[in-house]
Structure 1
């Protein structure tokens, strides 16, 4: 699964890891690396 979500002017990727049962992703199209993870969206 590879989807995107939008927050204000930012676009972030959303992926799911079946083994760890978590969602994770990163903010796209910026110079810095901002990543995130969680158990639900």
Structure 2
């Protein structure tokens, strides 16, 4: 058996997993996401 870890505190993602009846644990990542504007959408 595996343990699914949701590394997000997103209510929408939690709702989606609950809708398909998947057991999971919420452990949000404690990081700051920074957008690198030098990259294009293709990268």
TM-score, normalised to structure 1, is 0.24
Determine which structure has the larger strand proportion and give its number: 1
Determine which structure has the larger helix proportion and give its number: 2
Computing the radius of gyration over CA atoms, which structure comes out larger, 1 or 2?
2
Structure number with higher relative contact order (C-alpha < 8 Å, ≥ 6 residues apart): 2
TM-score, normalised to structure 2, is 0.23
